[in-house]
Structure 1
Amino acid sequence: MNSIWNKNRSAFAFRFPSLVKMFASEIAAVDAICSGSSIPHDTSNDNPPAIGQPFPFWNIVSAKDGSVSAYEGGALLHSAYNPKREAEQTVANSDFAGCRAAVFFGFGLGYAVEAYALRFPDRAIIVVEPDAARFFASLALTDWTAVFASKDCIAAIACPPHTVVSFIEQYGASHCAFFSVPSQTAHSSDYFDTLRTLVERNRRKDDINAATLERFAKRWLKNSCKNINNYALMRGVSAYAGNAHGIPFTIVAAGPSLERVLPYLSEIKKRSVVVCVETALRACLRAGVEPDFIVVGDPQYYAYRHIAGLTSKSSVLIAEVAVYPAVFSFSCRGFALSSSLFPIGKWFERRLGKKGDLGAGGSVASAAWNFAYAAGASEIHCCGLDFAFPEKRTHIRGSMFEEGTHETSVRTLPAETQNLPLLFSAGAETASDYDGKPVPTDSRMKMFAWWFESRLASCPDVKTHTFSRSGIAVPGIEPVDIRSFLKKPDITARKNEFIKKSEASEKASPPAKERFDAVRAEFLHEIASLRKIAEDGKRICENALADGGAAKSRAPTGCAAHISDMYTISDGNAEHSVTLRALADIDEAILKSSVKDAVSLALPSGKRFADLAGNGDKTGDAFRKSLLHSRRIYEELARAASECAKYVP
């Protein structure tokens, strides 16, 4: 038997024993081909199978350097001269700062995969091949032992595209080097096209999250600080985790199709746990139904307006600590906190315990779905989750969105006209509903649908259904007739037991007041320390600027107070080196601060900060420019720390 295959087969079996069982027939087929090879073996017994077509999909040829290459469909998979050197050059050119993993969309015979494993043995390698026969055929032709010996190796063989994306997300798409050669992916072009689309969507998701952070950072800072005492008062949503096994949940969103479901909502509540997003609460109450849970996700004031003035005495409101403060004045049975997505909340939760993650990004409905899944829902039904504008309507009648357009409607700008930008904006698109019919939507709604699609694909253990066929058809969500759902038994008693058991649990309960007070005092102390460090940095810069760029006899205070030796810079100026060493100590202290991320929310963001730091001396003196730049940064950091402390009650 071919010894390359022998070595690779053994290494693969050792690394992936479960995959050996899963692909036993494909492995047996390669065993038979290698055993029946008609090419005489040399003494090293390392020859590949017969040159020609031992595998029906490849025409194997000998490269100029004596190694093997192959054609498929008339296209050469690797260099006809030196496949190994070609692969090594490709791998060398792929590297970038922060790279954590390599993703191979197809790989031909595997030269590039081997080259990457040899060059970067400590990085993760994800090999993606929808055709198992091709994957195992490559193991008979090139040496894969270095790949299977690498620190992290994922063999995504015959995996659905969404599963592959979940592997990539473990490392972050922006931290992955991607390899994709057209001739090596042509055999499954539709599969790889889908995969590229999904990866690009996830990259766009990251860009949207970053843009949102830049736009609303100060609002999140203010809200988080003002609400911080709620950590001492409210349980976490993880109190409900795993307690609802066998119980169906229903997610209520505010899409136009909710109108058809409202008459049945009271019966739906008897047969499931109803989780309502804040935009749909007004409609639920209008139907005489108080949901079991209400989810508020957006920290902006406009999210609060959806529930302002309403009352739902039997509901539990779920929110994170960064929501608009008035949310926690809502009249309901109680509150539950989800884990914060933002630095201040994360700082407190590292010390007081996690509240329960409901996921980042997506719509509020995705957080509601995550809550249902974490609780242990047996199945999840959705109503009003359209991600589209069926019948050219944007929201259910009576929602705050629709009522707002009527309140501001005038003769020259009626409500219908106010909705036109949503229907015909630059981002307007069409998609297919569950019957394959076109339905108007926009790029934002499509992004929310993609978020849902990705999440559902990573959680195949729970079935998700929709009561409407008129919204975007989301893979993983199956439409069902509401009448079949209403045949389910009344589970009110089981539902009440689930809620009672969860709320009586010590899990995710609020900390003791003394502990919380100590943690809050630590936070304020860390903020004050960071402000002092930044002020010291600013003072060092000002002293150096006043002395013409030299730090003379005035010794800096704080972290830069003890400077024992000189730091020599390229211009040989010893006085400059003292200043640089002092500022290096300041920067090191800032980077070690546990609250630097929290305070960063109050800093000017993006281009505005670059403009602030860049406005200064125009003389061309590089050292002076550096001092002016640093002074402005320290000044802004000290101001941000003061602003952060100001909002903490």
Structure 2
Amino acid sequence: FARIIGANPIFFAGLDLGYPQKQTHYRGSFFEELLLSVSKKNRPFETALFSYIHDADSEYVENNSESRTLSDKRLLIYKWWFETQMPLYPETQTYNLAPLGVKIKGISYKNLSELFGYPECRNVIDKKIEEVRRMTLVRKPDYEKLHKAVLSLNNELIELKKMAQEGLEEIRKLKSNLKNEVFIRQSLIKLDSIDRKILKISSRDVAGFLLQELFNKILYYEGTSDSYYNVLETTEQIYRHLRSSCLYQSELLMNALNRLKLLSKYPDSL
């Protein structure tokens, strides 16, 4: 978003993509309050927090201080996305202010003190904000257009989830027929067709950066064994993750749709 509106250079603050010194950004947030509200005597808040950090294939990766920071597969998807986007816009200078943040290729580290060397621009920002406010007074948001766009995204996520479910069902059948060569060939053709449909959708914006790494895994499987079973296990994991991601993103979009309905009916509630 910052790049689209013309910001250059761009400075990221708090872009850790990990758990520096095994700490999170939970304190005072909704997620902390949620964990506190559901904690029990035999599963206190601290246990839930520990599980959150360590239950997603956590690993230590290189950080901006040439040491290592704990991260996990969930956060490394974001790292992968940033690293694929940076070469596309070389004219935009992008920096990270987090010394213990995960090192991202294409995003250099800058000490916070260097940022203070830039000229003050608060007056310029306030002027731009005032211009935007005047524009909104003249032109009301097109909630109907926004609603259609969000609905379209949600429909494509539903289609992605459906394909992932089809893949899971086909793998379940295939696992039960690993000695039937004819069935294996037919099943692999079906799975290939499902993958092609998924990859076709991934070329559009609906796939998002949360799913792109999964699509690459479908294309470039790098397993330790070429046995049918090991390949199927990996593919099944990909489909399951894809289905889970689609469900989560679809839930967020449905919340957005409900919010848009309220705003279109009661615009002053914004």
**TM-score normalised by structure 2 residue count:** 0.50
The aligned residue for residue 139 of structure 1 is: none
Structure 2 counterpart of 1:605, one-letter code? K
* Whole-angstrom CA distance in 2 between matches of 1:433 and 1:408: 33
What CA deviation, in whole Å up to 9, does each residue of 1:423-462 have, x standing for no partner? Answer: 3225222211112212111111111011112212211112
5+ unaligned residues in a row in structure 2: which ranges?
170-257, 266-270
The aligned residue for residue 96 of structure 2 is: 466
When residues 512 and 384 of structure 1 are mapped into structure 2, their CA distance, relative to the original with a 3 A threshold, is: closer
* Whole-angstrom CA distance in 2 between matches of 1:603 and 1:388: 28
* Whole-angstrom CA distance in 2 between matches of 1:372 and 1:600: 26
In the alignment, which of 76, 80, 85 is matched to residue 455 of structure 1?
A: 85
Residue 498 in structure 1 maps to residue 128 in structure 2: yes
The aligned residue for residue 16 of structure 2 is: 386
> How far does residue 393 in structure 1 lie from its aligned partner after superposition?
1.7
The aligned residue for residue 162 of structure 2 is: 605
In the alignment, which of 356, 376, 381 is matched to residue 6 of structure 2?
A: 376
Tell me the percent identity.
24
When residues 456 and 437 of structure 1 are mapped into structure 2, their CA distance, relative to the original with a 3 A threshold, is: same
> How far does residue 405 in structure 1 lie from its aligned partner after superposition?
2.5
* Whole-angstrom CA distance in 2 between matches of 1:599 and 1:476: 31
* Whole-angstrom CA distance in 1 between matches of 2:34 and 2:97: 27
* Whole-angstrom CA distance in 2 between matches of 1:600 and 1:484: 42
Alignment of 1:295-306 (within 5 A): none
User: Would you say the 8 A contact 1:383–1:467 is kept in 2?
Assistant: yes
User: Would you say the 8 A contact 2:99–2:111 is kept in 1?
Assistant: no
Residue 417 in structure 1 maps to residue 47 in structure 2: yes
> How far does residue 374 in structure 1 lie from its aligned partner after superposition?
1.0
Between structures 1 and 2, the one with greater helix share: 2
* Whole-angstrom CA distance in 2 between matches of 1:439 and 1:385: 12
Q: Secondary structure at the match of 2:76?
A: helix
Q: Secondary structure at the match of 2:2?
A: helix
Aligned length: 165
Q: Secondary structure at the match of 1:430?
A: strand
When residues 504 and 449 of structure 1 are mapped into structure 2, their CA distance, relative to the original with a 3 A threshold, is: same
> How far does residue 481 in structure 1 lie from its aligned partner after superposition?
2.0
User: Would you say the 8 A contact 1:422–1:428 is kept in 2?
Assistant: no
The aligned residue for residue 25 of structure 1 is: none
Structure 2 counterpart of 1:433, one-letter code? N
The aligned residue for residue 441 of structure 1 is: 71
Structure 2 counterpart of 1:394, one-letter code? T
Q: Secondary structure at the match of 1:373?
A: coil
In the alignment, which of 450, 462, 475 is matched to residue 105 of structure 2?
A: 475
Q: Secondary structure at the match of 2:7?
A: coil
Structure 2 counterpart of 1:459, one-letter code? Y
The aligned residue for residue 177 of structure 2 is: none
When residues 471 and 600 of structure 1 are mapped into structure 2, their CA distance, relative to the original with a 3 A threshold, is: closer
RMSD: 3.9
> How far does residue 610 in structure 1 lie from its aligned partner after superposition?
10
* Whole-angstrom CA distance in 1 between matches of 2:100 and 2:168: 47
Structure 2 counterpart of 1:443, one-letter code? K
> How far does residue 488 in structure 1 lie from its aligned partner after superposition?
2.9
> How far does residue 512 in structure 1 lie from its aligned partner after superposition?
8.0
When residues 425 and 492 of structure 1 are mapped into structure 2, their CA distance, relative to the original with a 3 A threshold, is: same
What CA deviation, in whole Å up to 9, does each residue of 1:288-336 have, x standing for no partner? Answer: xxxxxxxxxxxxxxxxxxxxxxxxxxxxxxxxxxxxxxxxxxxxxxxxx
User: Would you say the 8 A contact 1:394–1:422 is kept in 2?
Assistant: no
Alignment of 1:538-577 (within 5 A): none
User: Would you say the 8 A contact 2:56–2:74 is kept in 1?
Assistant: no
Q: Which has the larger radius of gyration?
A: 1
When residues 496 and 458 of structure 1 are mapped into structure 2, their CA distance, relative to the original with a 3 A threshold, is: same
> How far does residue 477 in structure 1 lie from its aligned partner after superposition?
1.8
> How far does residue 387 in structure 1 lie from its aligned partner after superposition?
0.5
In the alignment, which of 9, 17, 28 is matched to residue 398 of structure 1?
A: 28
Structure 2 counterpart of 1:428, one-letter code? S
User: Would you say the 8 A contact 1:395–1:402 is kept in 2?
Assistant: no
* Whole-angstrom CA distance in 1 between matches of 2:12 and 2:72: 20
When residues 608 and 504 of structure 1 are mapped into structure 2, their CA distance, relative to the original with a 3 A threshold, is: same
Q: Secondary structure at the match of 1:476?
A: coil
Q: Secondary structure at the match of 2:129?
A: helix
What CA deviation, in whole Å up to 9, does each residue of 1:536-587 have, x standing for no partner? Answer: xxxxxxxxxxxxxxxxxxxxxxxxxxxxxxxxxxxxxxxxxxxxxxxxxxxx
In the alignment, which of 430, 433, 444 is matched to residue 60 of structure 2?
A: 430
Structure 2 counterpart of 1:431, one-letter code? V
User: Would you say the 8 A contact 1:469–1:479 is kept in 2?
Assistant: yes
* Whole-angstrom CA distance in 1 between matches of 2:160 and 2:68: 45
**TM-score normalised by structure 1 residue count:** 0.23
Between structures 1 and 2, the one with greater strand share: 1
When residues 461 and 603 of structure 1 are mapped into structure 2, their CA distance, relative to the original with a 3 A threshold, is: closer
When residues 383 and 598 of structure 1 are mapped into structure 2, their CA distance, relative to the original with a 3 A threshold, is: closer
User: Would you say the 8 A contact 2:10–2:94 is kept in 1?
Assistant: yes
User: Would you say the 8 A contact 2:11–2:95 is kept in 1?
Assistant: yes
